[in-house]
A and B are shown apart, each in its own frame.
Chain A
């Protein structure tokens, strides 16, 4: 092997990528040639010393300050509890009070994490509404904001975060009123109510961040599923014994939960 040959095979051999077929010749030449020997050992030294350079530089404290500000602006943080003073950089921004979510900033939006528990709550409200008359006596004796007696159907999606205490109760207060005497579903004024619920308003606010045309699309779909829910609810009110109609009402709620879930997947 010559010095030129050594130069040619060095890129493969230095990093151990070669199959070693010409390794004996290479070793023999390097041992006997001081120029190639110096070259090989220098390149190995450079490679090994370079490895020590990783993670030696430290960014200025302002980098974290800017990151934290952006996280808050994007609504990615739920709280800004004061971290341990030993870890806080002197130039960091002062801690903010607990905010759930983060209103008021120019880029405020309701974080998508809220949609998952609301989607579950929508289904829970639907399941509660169509509770059959067996369940009525127990439901009537419960607290003003009763919980669903049967678990809501599983939403095929990412595991939602811990449900904020207010969300299910808020939804439970929605037009889906508890069943009354004799298992009859009382007249639901909300069946004719066109005003969007608080969750729907928040939902639309979140999808607004995806652009005006996307928001319009989601709004149209939301109006459609809400109309289906109202229509079915009204029918169930008039025909409380129609089990299939009750099932269709549950299906309509599932459609709404699906819409929330599709939006959640898009935003995440």
Chain B
């Protein structure tokens, strides 16, 4: 699990995260705003990676922050604030996926019909990825993953949750979580090779 950032001191704010939390509990709007700006990228990035649609991601990020702020008086500080917010964001996104009927985790062992992964026998020169990965390409490749694979990959490799945490959150077994992650990585490898080959062709 990704570690929380702990107390932050922003010279512009003149306030630490812990102070902002205490002031937010008392209802100071400026304190809420400080907490929002401290964590907005993490929350929004997670939402965007899970649903790939910026407008939806904005709605989910908004809902995650509102849920957090409504419950802020119950935050007792035993765990990092960012950890708490992180989990809440994941729950908000997963609930949205469930409501829309989208698979949270793929239960199928075979490839989904909409899968567009290029055939493995593409070319004889299978370009090795090692060395560097273009982040934009990686992001596009993640967006292409089927929703079930994408959920587990984002939660584990991007956000740092452990398999037992993912299994609890999404309601699958630990074995299923590991299996989905492995398949997601394999698929991403193929997408990235394809993109690299295409780029090499066009120069």
Do A and B form a real pair? yes
Taking chain B's interface residues, is the majority helix, strand, or loop, or is none over half, making it mixed?
A: helix
B24 to chain A, nearest CB (A): 9
Q: Mask for B157-194, Cβ within 8 A of A = 1, else 0?
A: 11110010000000000000011011001101100100
Q: Mask for B26-70, Cβ within 8 A of A = 1, else 0?
A: 111110111011001111111011000000011001100110011
- The contact of B27 among A68, A79, A83, by CB within 8 Å, is A79
Which of B13, B57, B158, B178 gathers the greatest number of chain A CB atoms within 10 Å? Answer: B158
Interface size class of B (residues with CB under 8 A): 35 or more
Knowing A38-B130, A64-B33, A86-B12 are in contact, say whether A57-B48 is a contact too (CB < 8 A).
yes
Knowing A49-B135, A59-B44 are in contact, say whether A71-B12 is a contact too (CB < 8 A).
no
Segment at the B interface, from A7-15, A196-204, A206-214, A240-248: A7-15
Interface size class of A (residues with CB under 8 A): 35 or more
In the assembled complex, A74 has its CB within 8 A of some CB on chain B: yes
Say yes or no: B163 contacts A15, CB within 8 Å.
Answer: yes
Cα distance A70–B181 when bound, in Å? 37
In the assembled complex, A134 has its CB within 8 A of some CB on chain B: no
In the assembled complex, B129 has its CB within 8 A of some CB on chain A: yes
Cα distance A49–B141 when bound, in Å? 13
- The contact of B13 among A14, A66, A84, by CB within 8 Å, is A84
Cα distance A87–B43 when bound, in Å? 18
Q: Pick 23 A–B contacts, CB within 8 A, sort by A.
A: A10-B182, A11-B182, A17-B163, A45-B133, A46-B185, A46-B188, A51-B157, A53-B49, A54-B45, A54-B159, A55-B42, A57-B57, A58-B40, A59-B58, A63-B61, A63-B62, A64-B36, A71-B69, A76-B69, A76-B70, A80-B29, A83-B29, A87-B33
Query: Which 4 A-B pairs have CB atoms at the shortest separation, nearest pair first?
Result: A78-B27, A50-B157, A11-B182, A59-B44
